[in-house]
Amino acid sequence: MRPANLCAEADIVVMNSKIKADAALLAVAKHLKMVCRAGVGMDHFDLPLLEARGILAVNTPGANAVPVGEQAVGMLLCMMHNIARADRQVRQFVWQREENRGVELLGKTVGIIGFGHTGSACARNLSGFGCRILAYDKYKSGYAPGYVEEASLAQIQSEADILTFHVPLTAETEGWGSRAFFASFAKPIYLLNLSRGPVVPLAGLLAGLEDGHVVAAGIDVLENEHLATLSTVQRTQMEALIASERVLFTPHIGGWSRESLTRINSRIVEQIADFLAKSGE
């Protein structure tokens, strides 16, 4: 059965990131009063439409910030110390020490774009590594704990050795990681994207790597995560990225810990109970 048809009788729908709460869903789900995203991010909701129909939309902010913060640091260390590549080599009976000499995090400058739940979790974890942490958040001020400096984007571009995106996907953030953006950095950067794929499009990432402005990239999210439906251009771009030793991929698992699954589901249940209590049902 198609997901939309499952919703035909439903008053409340809990959905994952593969389903959109849009006009097509609402055309079928005529009784809908509440939609819940089991995860973080409202980019799968047509919010103006849901609001116009009086349908409450919720997600679970912060519920998976801990694993994203942990995986960001894990991917960074893996890249800076060549861990995944060295592991692949040893499995092929190749023992290369000099070629896999690492770069230390100690003393480097990390730029964090977006200082909400996941950006601040990443900073907290990095605070023990002796690196300098700059954070840029367009919509906040006075947010930084003592181990973080609030910075402008220009300051991050001129000082960062490492850049990590922690912003939602919006019209402003889509396509941010372009060739021109990476070229605007004073130093070559290690890049992390655990936010949303379209924030760093495949073309921008490839260009940054080819131009040498991106040293290496840890990528948890892709412009198109349905790998079976890539366009010809996307497939060619993905093949080039896969062939590169400088890209570390994970399949959008940054927020997927065993603990966050429980946390997300508990928060969904609490929000549904609250909604039912308030609506007297």
Asked if 252 interacts with ligand NAD (CB under 6 A), we say yes
Among 115, 182, 185, 190, indicate the residue that binds ligand NAD (CB under 6 A): 115
Closer CB to ligand NAD, 75 or 86, in the complex: 75
| Active-site hit among 179, 196, 213, 267 | 196
Listed ranges 58-66, 77-85, 94-102, 269-277: which one lies at the site for ligand NAD (CB under 6 A): 58-66
Residues 137, 168: contact at Cβ < 8 Å? no
Distance in Å, CB of 16 to ligand NAD, minimum: 12
Among 60, 82, 109, 118, indicate the residue that binds ligand NAD (CB under 6 A): 118
Q: Regarding beta strands 34-37 and 12-15, do their DSSP bridges make them parallel or antiparallel, or are they unpaired?
A: parallel
Listed ranges 6-14, 87-95, 114-122, 235-243: which one lies at the site for ligand NAD (CB under 6 A): 114-122
Asked if 163 interacts with ligand NAD (CB under 6 A), we say no
Asked if 123 interacts with ligand NAD (CB under 6 A), we say no
* Footprint (CB under 6 A) of ligand NAD, residues 126-155: 136-140
Asked if 169 interacts with ligand NAD (CB under 6 A), we say yes
Asked if 194 interacts with ligand NAD (CB under 6 A), we say yes
Closer CB to ligand NAD, 213 or 263, in the complex: 263
Asked if 41 interacts with ligand NAD (CB under 6 A), we say yes
What secondary structure, in 3-state letters, does the chain show? CCHHHHCCCCCEEEECCCCCECHHHHHHCCCCCEEEECCCCCCCECHHHHHHCCCEEECCCCCCHHHHHHHHHHHHHHHHCCHHHHHHHHHCCCCCCHHHCCCCCCCCEEEEECCCHHHHHHHHHHHHHCCEEEEECCCCCCCCCCCCEECCHHHHHHHCCEEEECCCCCCCCCCCCCHHHHHCCCCCEEEEECCCHHHCCHHHHHHHHHHCCEEEEEECCCCCCCHHHCCHHHHHHHHHHHHCCCEEECCCCCCCCHHHHHHHHHHHHHHHHHHHHHHCC
Asked if 68 interacts with ligand NAD (CB under 6 A), we say yes
Residues 59, 260: contact at Cβ < 8 Å? no
Distance in Å, CB of 101 to ligand NAD, minimum: 30
Q: Minimal CA–CA distance to 89: which of 74, 99, 76?
A: 99
* Footprint (CB under 6 A) of ligand NAD, residues 74-103: none
Among 44, 85, 108, 166, indicate the residue that binds ligand NAD (CB under 6 A): 166
196 is catalytic: yes
Asked if 223 interacts with ligand NAD (CB under 6 A), we say no
Burial (0-12, 13-18, 19+ Cβ within 10 Å), 28: middle
225 is catalytic: yes
| Active-site hit among 159, 225, 235, 246 | 225
Name the residues annotated as catalytic.
196, 225, 252
What residues make contact with ligand NAD under the rule CB under 6 A? Answer: 40-41, 61-62, 64-65, 68, 113-119, 136-140, 166-170, 172-173, 194-196, 220-221, 252, 254-255
